Amino acid sequence: MGSLSLQLYNSTTYADQLAIQLGLFQDRLTGEPSTAFLDRLYAAAYARRDHTLEGVINEMVSLLGLSIQAGILVTSIDTSTVITVGAGQLTIGSVVIPTVTIDSDDYWEWRMLSDVVSDINSLTYSTAVLQIPDAYAIQLVPQSSLGCSIAEPITAITMQLLKTGIAVGSELFNNPVGSYVLTAGGSLTFSVAPQQGTTISYTYNMSPFSLTCSEVGVINLMDPALQTTALCPDGSLVHQVQEFVQQILTSDPCYWG
């Protein structure tokens, strides 16, 4: 009787089969339970995963099995107050709150999320609540409370738009509409009924606004905030940014020109 020739085959679960369909079969982490893998697959299927800053963060978080979550809830007395997060700083209205400081050795020293929350509550007319365990503020991803609604259908001569906190004056229609009245609360009234197929696009401010935190920190070297946060008092670059720039110049010599 001839000897058996045994061959090794991969045994896949239903989670792995779903991963194959999504092109993510190789992304399963060593020892990762199927339930945790499925959660990552669902997130990867719906999240943006392109070369934008948001896409890069989503991809890195997915590959490393980390998380993105709501980190700080900010509520403003004036709902039109715009909140933005850039490299090393958070801006609420006209108040700039640093998320990083420069120590005596010209290194970035990241503040804690709890420090940022304390500053928001003491320096602005907004209130902030920390929603996650305290961590370094580098987890605050670049973001803005300003959103944009694109091509929302006009369905009546008087209607309520889907969003509130609208920046009146930012609205654009795809067809001529004549005179109309639009309020920040999203109430829209026309003097005459717009033609069929008319849509409106507009900018709106989200309030309350939940600041997103990611266990992966990503810094865009084109971020205007770096003009202040990356410079030491003597005008030189902080050491971390020097390392970033050196790595880029080493990887792609065309930047030396």
pTM: 0.77
Per-residue pLDDT band for 9 (boundaries 50, 70, 90) equals very low
Tell me the CA distances in angstroms from 150 to 65, 180, 189, one per residue in order: 33, 19, 19
> For residues 106 and 97, is the Cβ–Cβ distance under 8 A?
no
The whole-angstrom separation of Cα 159 and Cα 211 is 30
Rounded to 5°, the CA angle 219-223-225 comes to 100
Per-residue pLDDT band for 4 (boundaries 50, 70, 90) equals low
pLDDT, tens digit, 9 for 90 and up, residues 205-233: 999 999 999 988 888 888 899 888 999 98
Nearest of 200, 197, 206 to residue 188 by alpha carbon: 200
Q: Which residues share a beta bridge with 110?
A: 100
pLDDT, tens digit, 9 for 90 and up, residues 61-117: 777 777 889 999 999 999 999 999 999 999 999 999 999 999 989 999 999 999 999
Q: Which residue has the higher pLDDT, 25 or 199?
A: 199
Given this model, what pLDDT does residue 61 score?
Answer: 77
* DSSP code per residue over the chain: -PPP---------HHHHHHHHHT-GGGPPTT--HHHHHHHHHHHHHS--SSSHHHHHHHHHHHHT--EEEEEEEEESSTT--EEEETTEEEETTEEEESEEE-TTS-EEEPBHHHHHHHHHHHSSEEEEE-S---BGGGB-SEESEEEEEEEEP-SSEEE-S--SB-TT--EESS---SEEE-TTSEEEESSPPPTT-EEEEEEE-SSEEEEEESS----TT-TTHHHHTB-TTSPBPHHHHHHHHHHHHH-GGGG-
pLDDT, tens digit, 9 for 90 and up, residues 114-158: 999 999 999 999 999 999 999 999 999 999 999 999 999 999 999
Residues 192, 194, 200, 206, CA torsion sign: positive
Using the predicted structure, report yes or no on whether residue 1 has a pLDDT greater than 60: no
> For residues 225 and 89, is the Cβ–Cβ distance under 8 A?
yes
State the average pLDDT for the chain: 86
The whole-angstrom separation of Cα 80 and Cα 100 is 26
Given this model, what pLDDT does residue 117 score?
Answer: 98
